[in-house]
Amino acid sequence: MEIKKNTVCAFIPARGGSKTIKLKNLVEINNKPLIFYAISTLLKLDKVLDSIVCSTDHESIQSYVESFGIAVVPRPKSLSVDSSKTEESINHYLREYLNDSLPEFIFLVQPTSPLTREEDYLKLLSMIKEYDLSDSVQTICKVKHHDHAINQRIIKNGYVNFVYKNLRKKLYNKQKKPEHFKFGNLVVFRTLSFLNTGSVFGNKSKYLEVPEKYCIDIDNYEDVEKLNFLMKKGFF
């Protein structure tokens, strides 16, 4: 397959199953389905996106997405179970639905992160074009002190233990411990790198640090209630 230079695709994985929230991608956030926010941002990027594709196994999600004129890739049941990896659905799209040419860059769009900004898409795309040796560029945000890796605990034989007990002894002082970051839920990657490594991040991933409030990921009903409250109060 040929890579079509400077073409950009936005890929939205949106399966119907979810253990925590039934049909999570359609749960209402401020009177709009959750997936609406990702779609509305992508539609504003029509000057830089050559295509927008949604991979789903659910008819209701498919109908809603298609109402915006977005192409849908029906996802096989074998790629729609809880253990399925996002990379598998991307690979399915590339190999089954694109014949002659592939986009040079692909955004992995998380519909469960409704506050991802238009400017973050534009910056990531600019960065991956600037850094030729990078396989991807991802958003990240700082981890708070109490969420830092050295403060994480596990339960073993009925007792609580620190995951990194020895490292914690060396680095517990706030000034000594290295800053830790978490994924900001947006990444753009080179298609060729993905095909070679099987990972959306590849081996060399640049980053864009963004404020934590834009990295929210809706995982349970508490997240839904919190974001609904904040949006109704005008915080976003």
pLDDT of 95 > 90? The answer is no
pLDDT, tens digit, 9 for 90 and up, residues 123-176: 999 999 999 999 999 999 988 766 666 677 889 888 888 877 777 666 655 556
Split at pLDDT 50, 70, 90, the class of 39 is: very high
Domain boundaries, the chain: 2-142+181-232, 144-178
Q: Are 111 and 222 in contact (CB under 8 A)?
A: no
Q: Which CATH number fits domain 2-142+181-232: 3.40.50.300, 3.60.20.40, 3.40.30.10, 3.90.550.10?
A: 3.90.550.10
pLDDT, tens digit, 9 for 90 and up, residues 22-33: 899 999 999 999
Rounded CA separation 148/142 (Å): 9
What type of residue is 117? R
| pTM for the whole structure | 0.88
What type of residue is 65? V
Rounded CA separation 92/39 (Å): 21
- The first and second tokens of residue 231, run together, are 């949006």
What integer pLDDT is reported at residue 173 of this predicted model? 58
pLDDT of 216 > 80? The answer is yes
Rounded CA separation 138/189 (Å): 9
pLDDT, tens digit, 9 for 90 and up, residues 129-139: 999 999 999 99
Split at pLDDT 50, 70, 90, the class of 93 is: very high
